[in-house]
Amino acid sequence: MNNDHHPTTDQTATDRTATDRTAPDPTHRAAGDKTATSQAATDPTPTDPTHRAAGDKTATSQAATGRTAADRSVTGGITADPTSRGVGDKAAAGTTVVGGRRGLGASLRAAGRPLLVPYVTGGITADWTEYLLAYQDAGADAIEVGLPFSDPMLDGATIQQASDTALARGATMDSILADLRDTPLRVPIVVMTYTNLILRDGIARLAAAGVSGLIVPDLPLEESAPFEAAAAAAGIDLVLLAAPATPDERLREICARSRGFVYAISVMDTTGERGTLAGGATALAARVKAATDLPVLVGFGISTPAQAAEAGRAGDGAVVASALMRRVLDGATPADLAHAVAALRAALDLGVSPGTPHAEISGHRG
């Protein structure tokens, strides 16, 4: 998902409530809808699953329609027993070896260093998988791949543009997964996408392509049990999100149910580059770390090596998305991105910005 991600919250019903596109067409976008609403950032009462802010033009929320993920699972291929994995189930996930790659959880636990997860939008260029190889060789511990979607409610302007570019090129879930299957990667792949695509295509297809982690930011915690069970059955870690507004009790539940890592959203906003790391990021990371033994990765707005180092000190690592995708949109090659990721890697390892000529991912703030 991605540092270019939105007014956010955690895995709350309101988070996803504004994002439930009940139309079967996964490419549907309401006219004029370009404001990616975050899980809970736009909801002043993030624990209220029925809240919808005035002016919200998105499709009726899951909670408001009464159609739960379990209801829709019949048509979306999510048929696993939703009671098979409950809150507090500590069974280790992510230990599966898929397509020659270690599972997400096992790989991150074995890294022994601050974790770096760079992002790329699948299909953004004809040679997009070359960015995956460049990231891997530059020191990524895992790679987040965004499946382009026409209603990216959690994503800011840069990731929206990257998704639009990929869709205009004809990228589809089928083509992206085929590309992943054909790419010789050692590091885990974490797919970031939205509920509609998972309901339509199911989780098993991701596993068949070697995916070992999944982030679904518009999935309410209250509706996630069938997805958790289906992901576990496929050997995929379902990563849940926590935000600064997440209440302590809910945070404990998110930490108990997340697999692979917990994604700490640094701001109640969409993704996008920022001049400084959000002030609440350190406090949030500390709260999450107190509630889980899983790695805690900080994301949303991490734009420079110095910010990545700060995120690594606060948590266990960083997710970087918009800063990288903005450069790709500006024409950066895989070799260019390798230098940028290497600078992030060095900063995380040192705990400070290395001060090299490529240490700042500078330019337009999208």
- As annotated, the active-site residues are 144, 155
Judge contact between 63 and 13, C-beta under 8 A.
Answer: yes
Instruction: Report the 10 Å Cβ neighbour count for 66.
Output: 8
Judge contact between 71 and 225, C-beta under 8 A.
Answer: no
Report the C-alpha gap between 217 and 29 in whole angstroms: 17
Identify the helix (H) or strand (E) that includes residue 119. Answer: strand 115-121
Instruction: Report the 10 Å Cβ neighbour count for 352.
Output: 15
Residue 119 Cα distances to 191, 239, 340, angstroms:
10, 15, 12
Judge contact between 36 and 155, C-beta under 8 A.
Answer: yes
Where helices occur in 148-300 by DSSP H, the ranges are 157-168, 173-181, 195-201, 204-208, 225-234, 248-257, 281-291
Report the C-alpha gap between 290 and 59 in whole angstroms: 36
Report the C-alpha gap between 326 and 305 in whole angstroms: 16
Q: Give the burial class of 175: count Cβ atoms within 10 A of its Cβ; 0-12 exposed, 13-18 middle, 19 or more buried.
A: middle
DSSP 3-state assignment of 334?
helix
Identify the helix (H) or strand (E) that includes residue 13. Answer: helix 13-17
Report the C-alpha gap between 334 and 69 in whole angstroms: 38
Sequence-distant (6+) residues with CB within 8 A of 179 are 122, 123, 128, 129
Question: Which of 192, 316, 336, 330 lies closest to 308, judged by CA?
Answer: 316
Tell me the residue length of the chain.
366
Which residue shows structure tokens 């609403």?
37
